[in-house]
């Protein structure tokens, strides 16, 4: 799909469909010439009352052939009600409506007039619409004998009135496309069946991504993991015939001496629960237990596409969690890379067992900040549902920056406590720590377990168990929290540039 920024009035649109935003029943002044060119048909349409007054209401109408302005391609008008005031959240909702309308239509080209929304910055508005269109265009077709037809939409033009807005619109377009592409890459990986998206496949995709964008990649196999002393990680993997992988990516867009931000992803490509076997109902969705790893790769793609001037490291621990004669058992004690002994009370609490070794390994990159992403606990879904990701941090500044990014993008997160009081629940009579702390505050104690391995750096944990995918009729990966992470990294790079 092609996108462009055009310095043109709406009556000059060279597209089959024109999207116009209006507030109430009053025709915006910027549409006066278009109305005149259509012999007053546009104002009459607006005055008819067919367009609802609620923000997001849509009225689609074909232009009468005799009233098509100028000799251009215009066949259809889409009127979109903005309501009285539009903030950033409202603009994202309107962008979703535009995307669904255009992608679901049967026309090949569309023009979107940006002049009707003046309360939102041009770059933010263009980014929101572009991201929404790319997101809405995604189809999972890899295993469909008769895949759903792709959208016929091939070109989208943004119409701006001021030359001074061109740079902002182009920046917003680039941002929106990069985030959309990163989200769709994340969704594609996560939606793949677990017999296709194995740890080996995930490693191969990471290497391909690195090669395409000129990044460094490394993949460690079982012998190297054993040499590193990653007994905790390997204890999860040993029940599966699929070999585990530790994947690292290095994007160097910042200064040669600048310390990187590190993203650490949980990559359980299928989670049966191990010996602590999960119920059969809904177990197919445990292919999504690599959502954190997929989001790390999606974020890397977006950052590389944007060419952000930062240094970024990705560390992904990936394996399957399967029951077998040699699988870990409740009561087993394993030793982590950090030397901490862990009593496994529940083999279905495996994410923290692979992440603790990945977090220890990450320290060798001397990161300025570490953020891990994991579909870690069902308890987080009980606490926050499917709206917000759970956020934990050992640094208030990092937490505030991530929450600000969440607010700017609508990729919501909510901070939960990491108080030492909860560490009491992780005590073991036989090892340094137990891998679960019981039912109370399950998401909190999981984060507290990880916190034991992150004391030497600034760290945050995002529990995305409730936000990485949807169930039911709309089952599928969401691509979250790629928008949040990209926004955080963009804002971080802006602050660095100002210093």
**Which domains are assigned to the chain?**
2-162 (3.40.220.10), 181-498 (3.40.630.10)
pLDDT in tens, the chain (499 residues): 999 999 999 989 999 999 999 998 888 889 999 989 888 889 999 888 899 989 999 999 987 754 455 555 788 999 999 988 899 999 999 999 999 999 999 889 999 999 888 889 999 999 999 999 999 999 999 999 998 888 999 999 999 999 999 999 999 999 999 999 999 999 999 999 999 999 999 999 999 999 999 999 999 999 999 999 999 999 999 999 999 999 999 999 999 999 999 999 999 999 999 999 999 999 999 999 999 999 999 999 999 999 999 999 999 999 999 999 999 999 999 999 999 999 999 999 999 999 999 999 999 999 999 999 999 999 999 999 999 999 999 999 999 999 999 999 999 999 999 999 999 999 999 999 999 999 999 999 999 999 999 999 999 999 999 999 999 999 999 999 999 999 999 999 998 877 6
Q: Is the peptide bond before 481 cis (omega within 30 degrees of 0)?
A: yes
Rounded Cα–Cα distance for residues 90 and 166 (Å)? 23
Residue 181: strand, helix, or coil: helix
Rounded Cα–Cα distance for residues 163 and 161 (Å)? 7
Q: Which residue numbers are catalytic?
A: 278, 352
In this prediction, residue 66 carries a pLDDT of 44
Neighbours of 79 (CB within 10 A): 20
Rounded Cα–Cα distance for residues 228 and 231 (Å)? 9
Q: Compute the radius of gyration of the chain from its Cα atoms.
A: 25
Tens-digit pLDDT profile for residues 35-76: 898 888 899 998 888 999 899 999 999 877 544 555 557 889
Q: Which pTM was predicted?
A: 0.96
Q: Are 409 and 487 in contact (CB under 8 A)?
A: yes
Rounded Cα–Cα distance for residues 265 and 224 (Å)? 19
Rounded Cα–Cα distance for residues 167 and 122 (Å)? 9
Rounded Cα–Cα distance for residues 124 and 422 (Å)? 40
In this prediction, residue 72 carries a pLDDT of 58
């Amino acid at each position: 799909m092609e996108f462009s920024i055009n310095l043109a009035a709406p009556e000059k649109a060279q597209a089959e469909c024109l999207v116009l935003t209006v507030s109430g029943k009053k025709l915006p002044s910027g549409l006066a010439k278009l109305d005149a060119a259509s012999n007053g048909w546009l104002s009459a349409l607006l005055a008819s009352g067919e367009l609802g007054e609620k923000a997001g209401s849509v009225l689609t109408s074909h232009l009468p052939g005799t009233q098509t302005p100028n000799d251009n391609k215009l066949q259809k008008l889409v009127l979109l009600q903005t309501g009285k005031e539009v903030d950033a959240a409202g603009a994202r909702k309107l962008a979703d409506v535009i995307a669904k309308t255009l992608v679901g239509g049967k026309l090949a080209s569309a023009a979107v007039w940006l002049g009707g929304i003046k309360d939102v910055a041009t770059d933010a508005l263009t980014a929101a619409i572009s991201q929404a269109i790319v997101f809405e265009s995604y189809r999972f077709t890899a295993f469909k004998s008769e895949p759903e037809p792709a959208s016929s939409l091939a070109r989208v033009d943004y119409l701006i009135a001021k030359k001074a807005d061109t740079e902002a619109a182009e920046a917003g377009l680039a941002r929106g496309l990069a985030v959309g592409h990163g989200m769709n890459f994340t969704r594609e990986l996560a939606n793949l069946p677990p017999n296709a998206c194995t740890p080996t496949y995930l490693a191969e995709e990471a290497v391909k991504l690195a090669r395409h964008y000129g990044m460094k990649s490394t993949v460690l196999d079982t012998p190297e993991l054993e040499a590193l002393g990653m007994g905790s990680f390997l204890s999860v993997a040993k029940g599966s015939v699929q070999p585990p992988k530790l994947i690292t990516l290095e994007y160097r867009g910042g200064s040669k001496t600048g310390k990187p931000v590190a993203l650490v992803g949980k990559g359980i490509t299928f989670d049966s629960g191990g010996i602590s076997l999960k119920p059969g109902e809904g177990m197919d969705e445990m292919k999504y237990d690599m959502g954190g790893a997929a989001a790390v790769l999606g974020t890397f793609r977006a950052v590389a596409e944007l060419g952000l001037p930062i240094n970024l490291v990705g560390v992904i621990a990936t394996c399957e969690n399967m029951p077998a004669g040699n699988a870990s058992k409740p009561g087993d004690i394993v030793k982590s890379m950090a030397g901490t002994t862990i009593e496994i009370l529940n083999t279905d609490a495996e994410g923290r067992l692979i992440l603790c070794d990945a977090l220890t390994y990450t320290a060798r990159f001397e990161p300025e900040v570490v953020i891990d992403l994991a579909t870690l606990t069902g308890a987080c879904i009980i606490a926050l549902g499917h709206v917000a990701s759970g956020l934990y941090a050992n640094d208030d500044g990092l937490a505030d920056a991530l929450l600000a990014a969440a607010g700017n993008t609508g990729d919501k997160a909510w901070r939960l406590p990491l108080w030492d009081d909860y560490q009491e629940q992780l005590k073991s009579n036989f090892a340094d720590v137990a891998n679960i702390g019981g039912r109370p505050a399950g998401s909190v104690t999981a984060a507290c377990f990880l916190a034991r391995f992150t004391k030497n750096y600034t760290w945050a944990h995002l529990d995305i168990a409730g936000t990485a995918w949807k169930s039911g009729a709309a089952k599928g990966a969401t691509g979250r929290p790629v928008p949040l992470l990209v926004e955080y990294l963009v804002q971080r790079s802006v602050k660095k540039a100002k210093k």
